[in-house]
């Protein structure tokens, strides 16, 4: 096929020899199958902000560090340069996360190069050498659902040990090759230590997995891995080898009715005092 304009720089630099076909068009990017010497890889071409259906959110970007102070100031002020810097940071977050997670032993596509908004990485394939299907495309037995769920919870723990929460993990962001699940799509990856929303993101990721696999193995719907994982993480004792039970007893503090009534009375008294003051002295 004709080489997409965004991939031309990689061809000119010798990173890519031929574009074979388009693999997919997603909310974040278009992905192409490319030939690089004797290897078949994929090129992820990020869409511009106005073409994406997934919007950046401060919930995801909180805690991310921008080394270039000029870029950091520009991002705060906005403007064309600032928006371009935000786009670069958003894309670089996935590249950095992939390198970091691959080094930590997490099953993610291996990254090779990142040039002008195009990420060149491993093409995840099935046992026949074809592009691996998404988890959402598979029909699972109860046994396979339990196996894949256990594998992905282990990967979530390994990611957290590396300081990262996926932030958008579901059956649509997991490929399945001959060896099992492979986690993809990480531009929204959350810094576990620097983001105040990290636990909420982790809990959503874990609950998404339980909901999906629970269709085939209903007992998974009653697990609470998120709170168990996060509690151990906060204690500083979480490791990739930590044994989990999937159970956690959440302590719900009983409501103190007298305390609530006292707060209501105090608020009412404060409002009455404010109204009296306004009547006597005006605004």
Is 168 designated active site?
yes
In order along its 283 residues, the chain shows pLDDT tens digits of 899 999 999 999 999 999 999 999 887 889 999 999 999 999 999 987 654 444 445 565 565 454 555 544 444 555 555 455 556 666 788 899 999 999 999 999 999 999 988 999 999 999 999 999 999 999 999 999 999 999 999 999 999 999 999 999 999 999 999 999 999 999 889 999 989 999 999 999 999 999 999 999 999 999 999 999 999 999 999 999 999 999 887 765 666 677 767 777 777 776 776 666 566 655 5
> Rounded distance, CA 247 to CA 226, Å?
9
Q: Full-prediction pTM beyond 0.85?
A: no
Out of 116, 185, 224, 283, pick the active-site residue: 185
Residue 209: how many CB atoms within 10 A of its CB?
26
Q: Would you state the torsion angle of the CA atoms of residues 218, 247, 150, 188, taken in this order, to the nearest 10 degrees?
A: 100
Task: Give me the residue spans of the domains in the chain.
Answer: 5-234
Return the CATH number of the domain spanning residue range 5-234. 1.10.510.10
Name residues whose C-beta falls within 8 Å of residue 177's C-beta, 6 or more positions apart in sequence: 124, 125, 126, 127, 132
Out of 168, 224, 256, 283, pick the active-site residue: 168
- Chain position carrying tokens 């990967």: 155
Of 156, 143, 132, nearest to 232 by C-alpha is 156
Name residues whose C-beta falls within 8 Å of residue 60's C-beta, 6 or more positions apart in sequence: 167, 188, 189, 190, 195, 197, 201
């Amino acid at each position: 096929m004709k080489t997409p304009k965004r991939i031309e720089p990689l061809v000119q630099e010798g990173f890519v020899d031929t574009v074979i076909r388009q693999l997919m068009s997603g909310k974040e990017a278009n992905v192409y199958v490319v030939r690089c010497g004797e290897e078949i890889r994929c090129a992820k071409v990020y869409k511009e902000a106005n073409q994406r259906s997934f919007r950046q959110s401060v919930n995801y970007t909180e805690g991310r560090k921008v080394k270039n102070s000029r870029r950091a100031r520009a991002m705060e002020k906005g403007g064309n340069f600032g928006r371009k810097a935000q786009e670069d940071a958003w894309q670089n977050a996935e590249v950095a996360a992939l390198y970091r997670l691959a080094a930590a032993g997490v099953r993610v596509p291996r990254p090779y190069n990142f040039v002008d908004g195009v990420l060149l990485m491993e093409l995840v394939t099935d046992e026949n050498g074809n592009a691996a299907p998404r988890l959402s495309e598979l029909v699972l037995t109860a046994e396979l659902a339990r196996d894949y769920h256990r594998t992905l919870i282990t990967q979530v723990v390994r990611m957290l040990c590396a300081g990262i929460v996926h932030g958008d993990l579901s059956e649509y962001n997991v490929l399945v090759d001959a060896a099992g699940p492979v986690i993809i799509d990480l531009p929204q990856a959350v810094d576990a230590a620097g983001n105040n929303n990290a636990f909420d993101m982790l809990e959503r990721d874990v609950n998404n997995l339980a909901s999906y696999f629970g269709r085939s193995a209903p007992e998974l719907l009653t697990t609470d891995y998120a709170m168990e994982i996060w509690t151990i993480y906060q204690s500083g004792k979480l490791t990739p080898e930590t044994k989990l039970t999937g159970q956690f007893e959440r302590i719900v503090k009983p409501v103190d009715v007298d305390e609530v009534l006292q707060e209501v009375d105090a608020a009412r008294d404060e409002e009455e005092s404010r109204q009296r003051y306004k009547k006597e002295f005006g605004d």
